[in-house]
Amino acid sequence: MLQVELMTHSAEETMAKSEALGKLMEGGEVLLLEGDLGAGKTTFTKGLAKGLEVKRNVNSPTFTIIKEYQGRLPLYHMDVYRLADSEEDLGFDDYFEGEGVTVVEWAHLIEEFLPSERLEIYIYHHGDNERKIVLTPKGERYEAICKELME
Ligand code: ADP
Ligand code: MG
C-alpha cells in the first residue's frame, strides 16, 4: 500500500508540507491526525489552513471541539480529545459530508463515526524539533492526493 513518509526539522517545515497538502484539497476531504500531545497536529493544521487560504489564525479547538474557518474552501477543525469515551455524536456526518475539508485531531477517539475513505496522518516525535509524518491514504481519492504531493 502507498504511504508517504516525511521528515521535518522545524514547525515551519511541517507547515510548509501541510500547506502543500492544503493546496491539493478540492473539498469534502477528511484528514485524521494522530500523535502525542505536542507532536504537531495543530501546527500541521495551521499549514493546511494556509493552503486553503484561510486568513484567520488557526488555534487549538480543544475546548470547543469543532471550529469552522472560511477560506478557498471551508476548514472544519476538530479536536476530539475531550470526547474520550463519551461516544457522543456531535453531528460529525454533516462535516464529513460537507463541502469543506475536515481535520480531526485524536480521530481514533471517534472511530465509530469516521468515514472509511480518509487520509490518516501520524506525527511522531523525534527529538525537540524533528518529526516523522506518515500519511496513509484510504481510498482512491486520497491515493491520488498522496501521489500528487510526492511530485
Ligand atoms: P499537538 O496539536 O499535536 O498537541 P502542537 O502543534 O500544538 O501539537 O504543538 C507542537 C509544538 O512542537 C509546537 O510548539 C511547535 O512549534 C513545536 N515543533 C517543533 N518542531 C516541530 C516540527 N518539526 N513540526 C511540528 N511542530 C514542531
Ligand atoms: Mg492540538
Q: What is the DSSP string of 89-138?
A: --SHHHHHTSSSEEEEETGGGGGGGS-SSEEEEEEEEETTTEEEEEEEEE
Residue 23 φ/ψ, nearest 5 degrees: -65, -20
Total tally of structural domains belonging to the chain? 1
| Contact residues of ligand 1, CB 6 A cut-off | 8-11, 13-14, 35, 37-43, 105, 129, 131
- The per-residue pLDDT string of the chain (151 residues; one tens digit each, 9 = 90 and over) reads 689 999 999 999 999 999 999 999 999 999 999 999 999 999 999 999 999 999 999 998 767 899 999 999 999 999 999 887 677 788 899 999 999 999 999 999 999 999 999 999 999 999 899 999 999 999 999 999 999 999 8
Instruction: For 101, list phi and psi in degrees, rounded to 5.
Output: -105, 125
What is the domain extent for residue 66?
4-150
Domain with residue 117: its CATH number is 3.40.50.300
**Radius of gyration (Cα) for the chain, nearest Å?**
14
pLDDT at 98: 95
HSE-CB at 69 with a 13 A cutoff on CA atoms is 24
Measured in Å, residue 16 CA sits from the centre of ligand 1 at: 13
Q: 115 alpha carbon to ligand 2 midpoint, in Å?
A: 21
What's residue 61's pLDDT? Answer: 76
- Can you give the pLDDT at residue 84? 73
